Amino acid sequence: MIDIDRRGFIASLGGAAAVGLMSHEARADELEDELNRRLQLAQAPAQPPSQATGSRGFPTAAEVDAQITTRSYRRGAGRGFLDTDGDNVARLPELPDAPTFLDFFELRFQHTSNHCLQSANKAMERGVDEEIVLACLLHDLVQVLMRADHGYWGAQLFEPYVPERTTFAIKYHQALRFYSDTDAGYEYPDLYRRIFGEDYVPAPHIQADYAMLRNHRWYDAAREVTVSDLYAFDPDAVVSIDPFLEIVGRHFRQPKEGLGNDGSSVAHMWRTIATPDAPL
Ligand SMILES: [Fe+2]
Ligand SMILES: [Fe+2]
């Protein structure tokens, strides 16, 4: 059994309050990462890192990078394709012949649907317009397919079916997450210091997009997704799609053939989400 310094581990995640705001899944991911790191250290003591050497117990970007070879999967992989606990994956429920967005939401997007519903609830409380409430509802759902660069993948997945401003907000929440905007109510989260390393420098495409966004007329749309994102990790929140059914009905152009069957440029992405057990 591997010992974990509980107090040190919680501190490394940003303290008890920050941990309290994380979903069970996020906490499990972090705990698993920590266990994997300790296991690797126990088996190969010569390998770095021996401890998180950044300030306040956060790892450095180099330490995060050194963890890559301690996992049996790549962190950017879609959540629908692996069980990070190492258990066997479950059989997925059948989708209807002409699946709607709501069918996918209930039967395929369960990895992030709770977080996205919390985010959309927060956006609604904040009184933002429906296109942005929809963006919050959709903003992380694509992580079932791909976690790396998920804002861009998510925008592409929904682009044929939702307003252009909704797509824009989904796409660029990814870049704005890395940049504080105190006036808007967004502070860089400790969770990212933990996940990316405290000295992490965003990739060039993220820096370029941020420079573009600062003077864009839709900056606020993408920023709102990051603000509502921050407060959407309550493990005890009771959420439902019901308050959003009318917004989805008004703004999501559901193809009559069903998502994946409509011949759109992204139909294959929906089919892959529908049938992730297909070997090729
Ligand atoms: Fe996100
Ligand atoms: Fe999110």
Q: What is the DSSP string of 57-108?
A: GPPPHHHHHHTGGGSSS-TTB-GGG--TTSPPPPPPPPPPSS--HHHHHHHT
Residue 1 CA, ligand 1 centroid: distance in Å: 34
The token duo for 86 is: 């190492």
The token duo for 104 is: 């996918």
Confidence of residue 231 (pLDDT cuts 50, 70, 90): confident
In this predicted structure, which of 72-76, 153-157, 163-167 has the lowest mean pLDDT? 72-76
Residue 127 CA, ligand 2 centroid: distance in Å: 19
CB 58 within 8 A of CB 195: no
- Taking 50 as the threshold, does the pLDDT of residue 49 lie above it? no
- Taking 80 as the threshold, does the pLDDT of residue 58 lie above it? yes
Q: What is the mean pLDDT of residues 94-122?
A: 97
Taking CA atoms, 150 is separated from 41, 79, 200, in Å, by 31, 12, 18
Residue 28 CA, ligand 2 centroid: distance in Å: 16
- Taking 50 as the threshold, does the pLDDT of residue 155 lie above it? yes
Phi–psi pair at 134, nearest 5 degrees:
-65, -40
Closest among 114, 101, 140, 130 to 239, alpha carbons compared: 114
Residue 112 CA, ligand 2 centroid: distance in Å: 8
Residue 169 CA, ligand 1 centroid: distance in Å: 11
> Helix or strand or coil: residue 130?
helix
CB 47 within 8 A of CB 41: yes
What does CATH list as the number for 101-274? 1.10.3210
Confidence of residue 10 (pLDDT cuts 50, 70, 90): low
Q: What was the pLDDT predicted at 86? A: 85
Residue 175 CA, ligand 1 centroid: distance in Å: 9
Q: Which ligand does the CA of 171 lie closest to?
A: 1
Closest among 82, 85, 78 to 147, alpha carbons compared: 78
How many percent of the chain have pLDDT more than 70? 82
pTM of the predicted model, to two decimals? 0.82
Residue 74 CA, ligand 1 centroid: distance in Å: 18
Domain limits, the chain:
6-70, 101-274
CA 146 to chain centre: 9
Q: What is the mean pLDDT of residues 97-124?
A: 97
Q: What was the pLDDT predicted at 64? A: 95
